[in-house]
Structure 1
C-alpha cells in the first residue's frame, strides 16, 4: 500500500528520519505552527494514505507498514492516549478523504490540541479510531512534552 510521511519540525536534526524506510516519500515541513505544518504536509502528499509523525520518535522499520495496514477510508489510526481515550498526534495515519471530511487540522489551535480536536471531529463525523500501543514507538521526552496540566487544559478548552 503506497503512503507518504509528514514530519512537522523546526529542529535541525529530525530523529524520526532515522526510522523511516528510505524508499518512503517523506516531507519534513518546517514552516508555520504545528497544525499549519501538518496541513501543509498533507497537501504535499500525492498518496491517498498519509502518516504524520512527531520529530522525536524512533521505531523499527516494519512499524510503519503495520500502522498503514490498519488505515482505511473510515478509520483514523493513531498512538493510544490513555487520558481521554483518543489518540495522540505523535503518530497519526489516515486516508486523505478523512482529512478532507474533517476539515484538516484546526490552524487556529496553532501548536496545541490539534490532534485531540482532529480526533474528536473525526469521531463526531462517524469515523472510527484505531488506537495503536505506545510501546510500538520510543519517544524522547523533552521540556516541551505534554504534561498532565496540558491534558486538563485541553479538556477544558475543547469542551467549551
Structure 2
C-alpha cells in the first residue's frame, strides 16, 4: 500500500479570500500560495501520492459550472508542473453547503474513495487543511491530520500544525 498526502485546495494550495481573489470560480482567479509548488515536489520526491480533496459548493449554488472547475484544475496542474510538481488525482464535492451529501467535508468520503482507488494506506497518510472540516474529514478517514495557515482555527484539533504547506513538506522530508 502507498502513503499519500491529501490536500485541501483553497487556502492550502491557492489563495482564497485574499486581496487578489475572493473565490476561485475561473482560471484567472487561481494563484498558487508561496512555495506550494516546491512543497508538492518534495512530497513527490519522497514517494507520496498527492491528492486534492476540495469542497466546491459554488457549483451547487450556481456560481460556476463543472467545466469551469476542470479549467481551474488544469491551470493548477500547469502551474505546479512549472515546479516539477505533480498531483496524482483530484476529488471534489459539487454539492451546496449543508447538502448533507456523503462527499462534502467534514465527511471523509472523498479521501476514502481516493484511498481505495489508489491503494493508499490511510493510517500512514496525511490530510492537510486550513479549516476544521478538513481536519475532521482526515480524522474520520483515519489519516494523520495537519492544519496549515494563519486562519483563526483551533490548532489543537489537528495532530500537527505548520504555518504553510512548505514547512510541513520540509518536516516530512526530514522525518
Do the two structures share a fold, i.e. TM-score over 0.5? no
TM-score, normalising length: structure 2 = 0.31
Higher strand share goes to which structure?
A: 1
- More RCO (CA 8 Å, sep 6+): 2
